[in-house]
Amino acid sequence: MKETHDNSTRGKSPFPLKLILLIIVVFAVFAAYRQFGDSLSLEQLAAKEEQLRTYQADHIWLSALLSFLVYVTVTGLSLPGAAVLTLGMGWFLGFGKGLVIVSFASTAGATLAFLFSRFLLRETIMKKFGKRLETFNTALEKEGSFYLFSLRLIPVVPFFVINLVMGLTPIPTRTFWWVSQVGMLPATAVYVWAGSSFPTLEALANKGIGGILSPQLFAAFAALGLFPIVVKKILARSGATAT
């Protein structure tokens, strides 16, 4: 009788634990939005330009660590402002350091959002993005990780939508991580370079994201995003011909 009770208990879902974690995540999103929500604009950052430069010069490594943590928080909790933050990081850290920090921080944040979706927010994400999930699953069955790679290369699909919807697909976490790391690198490099090319945040704010990223650049990203699918089809045809 005791063994039966143990087996039935073992099979139960740890709902209270999930509920507690969900409450913590919701509270973290609310707190982070209150802390960073109004600050993640080029105008707000430009108003603190002198303080940011002074702090970065006096605390080189600490400023790099804080930049990493802030970026992971923003992307992991799917807060708005990642594109602006990437431009700001390029100005704040320079191209080389900024690219390394933003690249790994964006992937870490994306993976956190992916895991939140997979283990805590399944029902909510299903209600909001159910139709997209069907499309994602179908494409993943046909194209595998190439599909995620293409989505990361094309900046048309919102960053946070990919993270949340992919959490409900059967794609392994490790695959999601490394494909995202490689796939987001070109766009990250462009945004960081754009931010680092401006001498002041005020000039960057006056120019705006629309003035920095041209339609031709987005067309190039779209063409780049189709590249892995084309390569896969070519390899599939060559394999079929060989057999």
In order along its 243 residues, the chain shows pLDDT tens digits of 444 444 444 444 455 655 555 555 555 555 545 555 455 566 777 777 788 888 888 888 988 998 898 899 889 888 777 888 888 899 889 999 999 999 999 999 999 999 988 887 777 777 777 777 788 888 888 878 888 888 888 766 788 889 988 988 889 999 999 999 998 988 898 889 888 888 777 777 777 666 566 665 666 666 666 666 666 666 566 554 444
Which amino acid, 7?
Answer: N
Q: How many CB atoms lie within 10 A of CB 112?
A: 18
What DSSP line would sit under 70-114, residue for residue? HHHHHHHTT-S-HHHHHHHHHHHH-HHHHHHHHHHHHHHHHHHHH
Instruction: Sketch the domain layout of the chain as residue ranges.
Output: 14-242
Distance in angstroms (rounded) separating the CA atoms of residues 129 and 121: 12
pLDDT at residue 211, rounded to an integer: 59
pLDDT at residue 28, rounded to an integer: 52
pTM, entire model = 0.73
pLDDT at residue 231, rounded to an integer: 63
pLDDT at residue 49, rounded to an integer: 78
- Paired tokens of 186: 């070109």
pLDDT at residue 13, rounded to an integer: 46
pLDDT at residue 10, rounded to an integer: 44
Distance in angstroms (rounded) separating the CA atoms of residues 93 and 163: 26
Distance in angstroms (rounded) separating the CA atoms of residues 140 and 158: 18
Q: How far is CA 229 from CA 29, 114, 136, 187, 235, in A?
A: 36, 23, 15, 18, 10
Q: Is the dihedral of CA 155, 161, 166, 169 positive or negative?
A: negative
